[in-house]
Structures are given as structure tokens and as C-alpha cells.
């Protein structure tokens, strides 16, 4: 764990709400989401599919359809600036610059027709125009995510890499622009458990070395326990519980949090049945 | 284990794919996806097959139902070597051995409604059934997987991942199989939905006396469902034993790596 953080948070999100409109109906995907992340902190957002966790992370830099289809209200303060009030061209600098994203399926987020090196170089030239030797910057980015043959990988296309290597390349691309905050949206869900461990270990090391903040979005409490400092649980678009990981793993105030932890099979436990959310939520008020 | 108790016996199974001929070396080196493996699946039990991507576990499952070409070896199902049968001869066995696939998004025909998805295997394996018989059976199948009957007219895109996997299970159950090969049935699902599907599979096993070959990369899930675990790496079975043995006293470095990768909390 890192030493205590400074009092002023790096990112402050206040009353963030996201509403989607289709025809006459409106769906509130996230409602009054309020949280903050300190520099170097890892905040995990846990919830099921449809709980609003990804949508609120995408809303931070308005990576959502434009109004009137989708309206985002509230404020997202980063370094004294409200990102939601920024014009599009300024916001584009923040996306991938101060706040970088990695997504669940590296195979679909990489462009299949360009090499890995080209795609990383594109991000660097866009966000760090001062860099003159882009080629060596690409090599360094790939080395940092422990890709052993950066020259070879830089010339390869996404389909030539395994899922784990693709995710490493995505991380390299995200980190090439020295972001302050990395939003990792289910970074290991599509990967094998052994690769999952490698990627989580890699993220933990990069966070330690760079003092970078991470917003980790996941449905699995298992990977939260050993990785995050703070955790918040989302259910039906709202944050139902938040606090330090060690506390929440020990005692859960909300039945939904309890259910999310209880439904994970654990080694050596050999229960007859797994706990399901419906059962767990039925027994507790 | 006596022979009669074994529903399936795999002896010396290998699946080799031709490698690409190298311009320089000329001769192609075959890719050994599965390399000389043997195991048994006792009736009414669950055998877990665990390993990472590329270890050959999916190919093993597919070779049993002739979805992957068998190079050498025997697949003995209740005394008959089904590995050597032609596709036409294999048809009656395909009814007994069904498969559930990993990705419920890609394994259901998006243009077909649930009624026709569930009816299709019935038309092939039970040609004597009338249209009404089939519709009745489909309603019963949906009840088995705890989905309401009015879903029959809907299409796959109207369902969530967990519901789609239930439909995949219903389709496998349609022809009253004895053995179901579950290829990563829960790894694409949320943990909460995963728990529901795992419980459903265990309930069905109890009610219908099913036998499972349960393929997955997550050792925690495999340990939960299995009576016997096979650990596969690079096309070979490197270790096998009861869940307690594998967990309590893993012999192989690879098994230890798999165990270490499971998050503990």
C-alpha cells in the first residue's frame, strides 16, 4: 500500500447522471454518482452488467453518444477544470492524455488494419507533439509492459498476437501518453486466469512506478481484494456502498455487496451450491 | 474404476494439425494440439478439464464429438469405439453426446427464434415427432432451464448472456443426452450469473443423471463442480486427481501456477 494521499483529490466527480433516450422512453443508466480519486490511488467500481459502472466511467470524458440521445449532468473536476463543460477539441486532448482507457476486449479495441507500432505512435504524436523520436518512444512503451521483443511486436498486426499480448499492447498505448488516470474497464475478463494474474501484476507495478491513479471497473470481487485501495459497489445505476477494500471485504453493509462476494467460488471451499444474487437478496432485507 | 462404470474412455487420443510448410525447410512440422492423452469419464460424474488457452482442452472436447479431426487414438463410448465411425454412423451417438459452448452470443443463430433453435435437434434425432410434440417438448425444455414458455417466439438478441447460456443448455438437453461436454460454459458470464448457471448444471445433473466433461480455465469453478480433475498443458495431461489431491498436493509446476492465479480473499 502507498503512503497516505494528499488531501486534495486528483479527480472529483459530483452528482454524475447519465440518461439515454430512445423514442419516448428514457433510461437512467447512472444516477447521482459521486466519488473522488487521489493521486496514485486505485479505486475499484464493482457491479453486474447493467449496473452503470462502465457508463459512468465513459461519461468522465463524455465518450458517449451526443445529446439528445444521451445526456450527462453533474461535474467531473480534474485539476480545477470541469471536463463536462469543456468544448470537444479540448476534451479530445484529455481523452488518452490525462485520462486513458483500456477496455475488456483488446481484440476489438485495436484497429485490425494497422500495426501495433503505428497505433502506439499515433497516440504519442497526438498527445505528445514534443516527442521527436517516435520510433524509440514506441519501443520504450512496449518494453515497459514487459514485451520482450518490442521491435518484432511493433511490426505485427493485432490478430498476430494472443489476447494477453494484445492487452499489453493496449496498456502500452494507454501509458505512452503518461496519463494521470488509467480507466481499466474489465481489463482481464476476456482472458485466462493465468494471463489475468500477469496483467493485474503488471498494472500494479506500473501504478507503483508511475504514481498513476487507476479506476478499475470489474464484476469480480476476487481481483479487487488484492489490487484496489478503495471500492465502490454500483447497483441499478447508483453507488450503494463505498469504502476501503479491507473494510468492505470484512463487513458489507449492503446485501448486494454481500451477494456479489458470496457468489464467487473459492478454492477448497467445496460448497454444495454457489450462492446466487437472487437467493442472497431474498434472505436479507 | 471398473469398465462398466465408465461412460467414456479416451485412449491415446492425438489431434495433429498440418503445420505450414516453411519455404526454407520445405517439410511441414505438424502442430500437436492434443498429444497422446488418455482418461475416463465415469457415468453420472463430472470430470473437470482445466488448462490455459492453447493447452488443447477445447480440441479434446471437440474431438470426442467429431468436431475436430482425430489423428490417432480411440474414443470408447460404452464399449464402442466411436472415434473410427463415419459421420453418418456417428449420428446416433451425437444424440447421446451433446455440447454447450462458451460464447452464448455466437453459438445461437441470430435469425432463428427460440422455438426453431430448440426444435432443430428434435427434427434430426426424433423424426417421428409431430410439430405439436416438438412445441410441447420445447416448453418443457425451457421449464427445465427455468425460463418462461412465452420466450419461445423471441430471438437470441432479446436475451441476456445468462439467459442465452440457459437456451444453449436447453438445446443440448433437447435430445436427451447422457454426456454433455461443457466447453467453458460460464467464463463469458458475470460472476453472479456464473453462480446461477453452475447451480443449474448441477441441478440438471442430479435430476437427469447426466455426465459432464467440464472444460474451463478457472480452477476455482472446476474444483467446485468436478469429481475428478484433469490438468492439461501443451496438449498433454500433466496431472490428474480428485479435487482434494489437486488442491492439497499439486505435483506439477503448471498446476501450481494455475492455483496461484486464482484470486484469494
Q: How many helices (H) and strands (E) are present in chain B, helices listed first?
A: 9, 10
Q: What are phi and psi of A100, to 5 degrees?
A: -110, 155
Decide which of B103 and A101 is more confident.
Answer: A101
CB atoms B217 and A197 under 8 Å: no
Q: Which three cell numbers stand for residue A183?
A: 480507466
Q: Angle at Cα B42 formed by Cα B36 and Cα B47, nearest 5°? A: 65
Give the whole-angstrom CA distance, residue B178 versus residue B97: 6
Mean pLDDT of chain B, nearest integer: 92
pLDDT digits (tens, 9 = 90+) for B170-196: 999 999 999 999 999 998 888 889 999
Check pLDDT > 60 for residue A114. yes
Check pLDDT > 80 for residue B259. yes
Check pLDDT > 80 for residue B98. yes
Q: Looking at chain B, how many residues does it have? A: 265
Tell me if residue A77 falls in helix, strand or coil. Answer: strand
Strands in chain B per DSSP E: 6-17, 31-42, 46-50, 72-77, 80-81, 97-100, 179-183, 211-216, 228-233, 236-241
Instruction: Region of B179 please: left (phi>0), alpha (psi -120 to 50) or beta.
Output: beta
DSSP B161: H
Give chain A positions within 8 Å (CB) of B257.
194
Q: Which three cell numbers stand for residue A190?
A: 476476456
Tell me if residue A230 falls in helix, strand or coil. Answer: strand
- Chain A contact for B253 (CB, 8 A cutoff): no
- Place B3 in a pLDDT band, splitting at 50, 70 and 90: low
pLDDT digits (tens, 9 = 90+) for A127-166: 999 999 999 999 999 999 999 899 999 999 999 998 889 9
The shortest CB-CB distance from A263 to any of B192, B258, B259 is to: B192
- Place B1 in a pLDDT band, splitting at 50, 70 and 90: very low
pLDDT at B104: 76
Q: Which three cell numbers stand for residue A126?
A: 497526438
Q: What are phi and psi of B206, to 5 degrees?
A: -65, -45
Closest of A79, A100, A273 to residue A179, by C-alpha: A100
pLDDT over 90 for what percent of chain B?
Answer: 81
Give the whole-angstrom CA distance, residue A156 versus residue A212: 28
- Place B229 in a pLDDT band, splitting at 50, 70 and 90: very high
pLDDT digits (tens, 9 = 90+) for B118-174: 999 999 999 999 999 999 999 999 999 999 999 999 999 999 889 999 999 999 999
What order of strands is seen across the sheet that includes strand B179-183?
A: B97-100, B179-183, B211-216, B46-50, B228-233, B236-241
Check pLDDT > 60 for residue A270. yes
Give the whole-angstrom CA distance, residue B53 versus residue A194: 10
- Cβ neighbors of A201 (< 8 A, separation 6 or more) are none
pLDDT over 70 for what percent of chain B?
Answer: 96
CB atoms B161 and A49 under 8 Å: yes
The shortest CB-CB distance from B257 to any of A194, A268, A278 is to: A194
pLDDT over 90 for what percent of chain A?
Answer: 72
Domains and CATH numbers, chain B: 3-16+31-261 (3.40.50.300)
pLDDT at B25: 62
Tell me if residue A274 falls in helix, strand or coil. Answer: coil
pLDDT at B23: 67
Give the whole-angstrom CA distance, residue A142 versus residue A149: 8
- Chain A contact for B106 (CB, 8 A cutoff): no
Give chain A positions within 8 Å (CB) of B46.
none
Mean pLDDT of chain A, nearest integer: 90
Check pLDDT > 50 for residue A66. yes
pLDDT digits (tens, 9 = 90+) for B35-58: 999 999 999 999 999 998 889 999
Amino acid at each position: 500500500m502507498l503512503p497516505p494521499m494528499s488531501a486534495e483529490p486528483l479527480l472529483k466527480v459530483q452528482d454524475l447522471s447519465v440518461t439515454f433516450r430512445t423514442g419516448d422512453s428514457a433510461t437512467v443508466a447512472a444516477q447521482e454518482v459521486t466519488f473522488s480519486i487521489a493521486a496514485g490511488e486505485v479505486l475499484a467500481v464493482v457491479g453486474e452488467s447493467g449496473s452503470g459502472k462502465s457508463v459512468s466511467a465513459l461519461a468522465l470524458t463524455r465518450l458517449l453518444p451526443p445529446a439528445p440521445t444521451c445526456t450527462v449532468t453533474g461535474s467531473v473536476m480534474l485539476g480545477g477544470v470541469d471536463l463536462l463543460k469543456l468544448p470537444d477539441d479540448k476534451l479530445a486532448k484529455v481523452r488518452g492524455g490525462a485520462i486513458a482507457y483500456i477496455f475488456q476486449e483488446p481484440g476489438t479495441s485495436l484497429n485490425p488494419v494497422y500495426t501495433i507500432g503505428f497505433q502506439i505512435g499515433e497516440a504519442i504524436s497526438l498527445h505528445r507533439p514534443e516527442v521527436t523520436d517516435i520510433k524509440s518512444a514506441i519501443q520504450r512503451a512496449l518494453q515497459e509492459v514487459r514485451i520482450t521483443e518490442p521491435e518484432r511486436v511493433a511490426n505485427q498486426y493485432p490478430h498476430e498476437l494472443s489476447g494477453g499480448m494484445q492487452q499489453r499492447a493496449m496498456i502500452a498505448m494507454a501509458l505512452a501518453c503518461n496519463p494521470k488516470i488509467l480507466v481499466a474497464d474489465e481489463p482481464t475478463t476476456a482472458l485466462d486466469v493465468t494471463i489475468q494474474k500477469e496483467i493485474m501484476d503488471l498494472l500494479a507495478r506500473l501504478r507503483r512506478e508511475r504514481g498513476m491513479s487507476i479506476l478499475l471497473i470489474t464484476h469480480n470481487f476476487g481481483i479487487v481484494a488484492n489490487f484496489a485501495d478503495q471500492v465502490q459497489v454500483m447497483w441499478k445505476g447508483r453507488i450503494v456502498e463505498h469504502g476501503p477494500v479491507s473494510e468492505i471485504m470484512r463487513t458489507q453493509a449492503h446485501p448486494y455487496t454481500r451477494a456479489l462476494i458470496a457468489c464467487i467460488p473459492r478454492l477448497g471451499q467445496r460448497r454444495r451450491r454457489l450462492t446466487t444474487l437472487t437467493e442472497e437478496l431474498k434472505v436479507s432485507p | 474404476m471398473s469398465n462398466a462404470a465408465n461412460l467414456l474412455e479416451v485412449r491415446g487420443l492425438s489431434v495433429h494439425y498440418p503445420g505450414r510448410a516453411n519455404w526454407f525447410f520445405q517439410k511441414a512440422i505438424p502442430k500437436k494440439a492434443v498429444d497422446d492423452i488418455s482418461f475416463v469419464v465415469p457415468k453420472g460424474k463430472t470430470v473437470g478439464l482445466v488448462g490455459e488457452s492453447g493447452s488443447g482442452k477445447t480440441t479434446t472436447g471437440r474431438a470426442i464429438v467429431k468436431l475436430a479431426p482425430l489423428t490417432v487414438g480411440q474414443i470408447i463410448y460404452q464399449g464402442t469405439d466411436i472415434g473410427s465411425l463415419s459421420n453418418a454412423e456417428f449420428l446416433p451417438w451425437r444424440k447421446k453426446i451433446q455440447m454447450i459452448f462458451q460464447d452464448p452470443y455466437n453459438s445461437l443463430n441470430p435469425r432463428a427464434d427460440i422455438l426453431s433453435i430448440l426444435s432443430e435437434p428434435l427434427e434430426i434425432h426424433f423424426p417421428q415427432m409431430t410439430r405439436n410434440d416438438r412445441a410441447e417438448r420445447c416448453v418443457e425444455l425451457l421449464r427445465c432451464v427455468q425460463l418462461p414458455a412465452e420466450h419461445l417466439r423471441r430471438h437470441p438478441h432479446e436475451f441476456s448472456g445468462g439467459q442465452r447460456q440457459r437456451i444453449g443448455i436447453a438445446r443440448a438437453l433437447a435430445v436427451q443426452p447422457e454426456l454433455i461436454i461443457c466447453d467453458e460454459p460460464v467464463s463469458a458470464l458475470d460472476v453472479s450469473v456464473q453462480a446461477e448457471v453452475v447451480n443449474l448444471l448441477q441441478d440438471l445433473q442430479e435430476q437427469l443423471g447426466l455426465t459432464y466433461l467440464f472444460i474451463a480455465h478457472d480452477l476455482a469453478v472446476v474444483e467446485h463442480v468436478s469429481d475428478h480433475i484433469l490438468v492439461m498443458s501443451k496438449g498433454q495431461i500433466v496431472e490428474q486427481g480428485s479435487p482434494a489431491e489437486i488442491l492439497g498436493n499439486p505435483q506439477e509446476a503448471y498446476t501450481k501456477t494455475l492455483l496461484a492465479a486464482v484470486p484469494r480473499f
